[in-house]
Structure 1
């Protein structure tokens, strides 16, 4: 069984709790994205990140000082979203870390697919971003082969069956050469 989570926008650095097991598997592709982001101006990045000035400044500084190889936090400890809070990895015992390491994967626009103990650094990037890395138009396309490989998809028509993380194929928005998936955002009531 594999459990797949989306990352959270809010991230922390925790280099004291546990040591990462290693680097993300697709660190070379992450390096390409990092170079692409660093080639953008502050205003372009603010537009890409869709955030206010304070968050843009924080993430611009993170990007300027980003080291993908040192002072890393295990991925499962770095994200502060609700799913990660409820999972409470900071109080895991060794057997629980072993279980999530074998069964949990985090889909990341910046890192691709992460194992829980892969070392990461804080970043801000969402899959919807339009990128010009190589011949790709967006991050879904950039990471697409990687996600499709997980399901051994060979027929492009089978991609339409992808239904994870709240995403569903939208035939009304798609064409024969471009498939559009939409994620439903659940609203919380108080």
Structure 2
């Protein structure tokens, strides 16, 4: 069984966490979505995504930086801070937990 988790609006990049990563399964779709989003103004992003000014600014920057190759961002599972991610408490995961999540999430 595969589990899909929707990302949250709030991110915290923890680049100090190093582990084997893989290519995202939906990378082509994500690239197409980002191309469409990159045409939006900062105000359009704020209104359409219903974001605060602070979150709008960071989202706008992230859209513009999409695909930046020289920066290690770490696995997405460690980057989001929404309710589902908090309850997974990845800070307690063992190496086996990471391997399992790589194959299942």
Q: Tell me the residue number matched to 2:92.
A: 91
Aligned-partner Cα distance in 2 for 1:94–1:57: 35
1:1-190 equivalent positions in 2, closer than 5 A = 1-67=1-67, 69=69, 70-104=71-105
Aligned-partner Cα distance in 2 for 1:55–1:74: 21
Offset, 1:13:
0.9
Aligned-partner Cα distance in 1 for 2:40–2:91: 35
Tell me if the contact between 1:20 and 1:73 (Cα under 8 Å) persists in the aligned partners. no
- Aligned-residue RMSD, C-alpha: 2.0
Aligned-partner Cα distance in 2 for 1:92–1:58: 28
> For the structure 1 residues 49 and 20, does the alpha-carbon distance in structure 2 shift closer, same or farther, using more than 3 Å as the test?
farther
> For the structure 1 residues 27 and 2, does the alpha-carbon distance in structure 2 shift closer, same or farther, using more than 3 Å as the test?
closer
Tell me if the contact between 1:20 and 1:72 (Cα under 8 Å) persists in the aligned partners. no
Give the TM-score normalised by the residue count of structure 2: 0.80
- SS of the residue corresponding to residue 11 of structure 2 reads coil
Give the TM-score normalised by the residue count of structure 1: 0.48
Write 1 or 2 for the structure with the bigger share of helix: 2
Aligned-partner Cα distance in 1 for 2:54–2:81: 18
Unaligned regions of 5+ residues in structure 2, if any? none
Offset, 1:39:
0.9
Aligned-partner Cα distance in 1 for 2:14–2:93: 15
Tell me if the contact between 1:15 and 1:71 (Cα under 8 Å) persists in the aligned partners. yes
Q: Which has the higher contact order (CA 8 A, sep 6+)?
A: 2
Offset, 1:4:
4.0
Unaligned regions of 5+ residues in structure 1, if any? 105-190
Aligned-partner Cα distance in 1 for 2:62–2:11: 11
Write 1 or 2 for the structure with the bigger share of strand: 1
Q: Deviations over 1:63-91 (max 9, x none)?
A: 22233544222121111112212211123
Q: For the pair shown, which has the larger CA radius of gyration, 1 or 2?
A: 1
Aligned-partner Cα distance in 2 for 1:20–1:75: 12
- SS of the residue corresponding to residue 73 of structure 1 reads coil
